[in-house]
Chain A
Amino acid sequence: MNNKSPIKKLLAVKGMGAALTGFAGLIIIYIAFGLINPAVFSSNNILNLLRSMSKYLLIGIAQSYVLITGNIDLSIGSMVAMSAMISATLMTLGTNPFLAVTVALLCCLVIGVINGILVGKFKLPPFIATLSTMFVGRGIAYMVNNNRNTDAIATGVGKETGDAFQNFFYYGTTAGIYNTFWIAIIMFIIFFFLLSKTRTGRHIYAIGSNIDAAKLSGVNVVATTTKTYLVSAVCSWVVGLILCAQAGMGNMEAGNMYEMYGVAAGVIGGVSPLGGTGILLGTLAGAAVWQTLENGLNMIGAQVGIQRLVIGIIVVVAVLLDIVLRSGQFSKKKKG
């Protein structure tokens, strides 16, 4: 089994099929929009696309980790809002940005740990457990600044520091590409590695495939489940900071519905909500498809309503396609 060509080996990786289908779809969609409006191909648009895609990639990673264990995290959007509101509020009060974002991180991690314990230890249905932390998180985001959005962060930390923060997370570029993209891509690489090459990653897949077998094989279910929710919390935290930097202030409604965008990005890329299957490369494809669609529909002048409608259809088509492809594969292997 070692004499296979690298390409064959790559294709043999589970979930690669769905990911590659996603990328193929991405190319088709992108070219199709480009043919209607050539501005889609402009370098400016590509840069914007990469930046706006980054947020979806991060929440896609967050949700994928949880989905692969067969659970779901509905509190992602609320953690995004908490992150944005807590860090912005602290900065408007003049707190050092490093301290501000650290406090925001800790708060998100607390939500992650609570999710992990409720689901992993107390066996609450993940839908219910994270539904409750979703409301709690959003409530906290509202309460942080007395039910108001914050003022501009520059009012507290000064224009120079404020600009530096905003540039670091959103407006600045490195090597010609927006920092946001670099942040997302670095996190993607780290979490890709963690999921595909490490012990923890294997445990995550095992839990999603068969939690009883995993337990009997010596997997610590509580710890591993909690880890997935912590990954989700960290990604949500970063997205919150990106949104805060983009607006230059904290918005209580930040990250609304993001948990569902995360599900969509994952599912388009072949991550099964039933657990056990999917790779982050697929999530990358899913996030890219999603953003390319939104961007392309924007560029050809489609209205928001149409955009939502098309995206809704794409999710179903992607999953149906996956089922059709997989059932074809299945019958090949079927034995009597």
Chain B
Amino acid sequence: MNEVIVSMENICKTFPGVKALDHVNFELRSGEVMALLGENGAGKSTLMKVLSGVYTRDDGSLKIFGKEYGDLMPKQAQEVGVAIIHQELNMCRHLSVAENMFLGREIRGRFALNNAKMEQEAKRILDDLKIDIDPKETVGELPVSKQQMVEIAKALSINAKILIMDEPTSSLTAREIEDLFRIIRKLKSEGKGIVYISHRLEELQHIVDRVTIMRDGQYITSMNFGDVTMEQIISHMVGREIKEKFPRVECQKGKKVFEVKNLNAGKMVRNINFSVYAGEIVGFAGLMGAGRTETTRAIFGVDPKESGEIYVDDRKIEIKCPVDAIRNGVVLAPEDRKKDGLCTKLSIRHNLTLPNLDIVCNKLGVVDSKKEDALCEKAVADLKIKTPDVEVDSGNLSGGNQQKVVVGKWLARDSRVVIFDEPTRGIDVGAKVEIYNLMNELKKQGIAVMFVSSEMPEVMGIADRIIVMCDGRITGEVMARDTTQNEILTLATTFEDKKINAQSGKEEI
């Protein structure tokens, strides 16, 4: 047990113009979970791509199970037992669990595929992991957490001994994370080596044995997790002390800016009432699937409302589509930046200007490039977007900078209400703090800030007042200053009594 199974020394990799890896060392032992930490763009993914054979290194030595590999090919890496569980799951949504697990190495009978055998084999692996999934189910119909487990099962079915998990918990609920950790612990006990990449530092303590920290393509250090404090880890990652993980500014609470009354939209938004005052940030906490994102979408007019009134500055407004919302000063920075937030094929400039074309265009709808330049320069400077210039495709930016573009495009407007849905998901500590500062800035300007987040410490650290949702309803409201994680969690799991639920459901019909 605990022999060194991966040893990478002085790994260098240069892309034209960028030194992505600069003499990086990395070591993984069997039966351990090694956290690979660093800000976005630190080179974690590149290093793991070298390990899995996707990239060939320029220099350095790479040993897997003691054997030196020159040019490691992806296929070779797979055969040795290296498997990556991707952040964005790589699954054929329309195929069944078993079909996905055996994709590319289907078991054939004499004439046709032997489905029974594949399903049997898949079932065996899933049972072994104590995962309750029917191999016949279609992958696209499973929740993300289950899909991820299928992917892990798939990796194990090809006899993986080194598992690389890239942000595995970013879209899981607390309970699902617990499930995942159980599986990770089991794999660990079987002597597999696990590389764990995550921005959620709080969760490391549950599973991690050692950490390796990278910054700007360089190896910083490796340590036993037990020997370091969170603050030390963060300062290694960022290269400077982050004084406050959650900077908070105190403001005088002003008059009511935003009010939502009796909002109903489908199952996940039921009878929502709340208001936001000038000078405060209202956090929305809850478990995944509590209806918070649905609420923001209904407010913003993306999804249709069944009923509900929305007031901005005591004036009732009608929002039927996002255009109405924007015109009335209500804007939304959506949850999933790749899907809803960003036109990745377009430049930063085009993205930043897209919702602000009414500002930068003249009466004939012609873009005034001077106004546009000014708007873009201001956004880049205000948000500290790291880019050589604004013509770069936004898809080429790191996650944190992409998020800044998604947020930044709304700040050029004189908005009254800004809704942030999970604005810090999957971005690094430094960028997170910049997003918080930005929200604080809006708060100071008297703009109503609605802040949806699934990360408890973050909501408690940044929001002034926290509204907790569960199952499409608001189940409680607490002041951030005098609440506890437990209190919030209790509210977040206050499900309605199923019987009452069923009755009221009937009455409504």
Contacts and interface: CB of A to CB of B under 8 A. Distances in A.
Contact of A215 (B44, B46, B322, B361): B322
Contacts of A206: 343, 346, 350, 354
- Name B's interface SS: mixed
Interface of B: 15-18, 20-21, 41-47, 217, 300, 302, 321-323, 325-326, 332, 334, 339-347, 350, 353-355, 357-358, 361, 364-367, 373, 377, 389-393, 396, 398, 409
Contacts of A237: none
A2 B373 contact: yes
Contact of B346 (A1, A198, A276, A331): A276
Contacts of A209: 343-346
Given A202-B357, A334-B396, 5 more contacts: A200-B365, A210-B343, A212-B340, A213-B339, A333-B396
A198 B368 CA distance: 9
Interface stretch (A29-37, A174-182, A216-224): A216-224
Contacts of A193: 366
How many A residues touch the partner, as a band?
35 or more
Given A197-B366, A199-B365, A202-B354, A218 B326 contact: yes
Given A12-B391, A214-B354, A216-B334, A332 B15 contact: yes
A123 to B, nearest CB: 15
A13 B334 CA distance: 28
B342 A210 contact: yes
Contacts, number: 121
B340 A14 contact: no
A202 B391 contact: no
B357 A199 contact: yes
A275 B409 CA distance: 22
Contacts of A335: 18, 20, 41, 46, 396, 398
Contacts of B302: 215-216
Nearest to A211: B343
Contacts of B43: 336
Interface string A1-36: 110000000001110000000000000000000000
Contact of B350 (A12, A205, A212, A332): A205
A71 interface: no
Cβ-closest 7 pairs across A and B: A336-B43, A336-B46, A209-B343, A276-B345, A217-B355, A336-B20, A209-B345
Interface in A308-336: 330-336
A277 interface: yes
Contacts of A213: 334, 339-343
A217 B325 CA distance: 10
B347 to A, nearest CB: 6
B389 A1 contact: yes
A208 B355 CA distance: 16
Contacts of B41: 335-336
B367 A216 contact: no
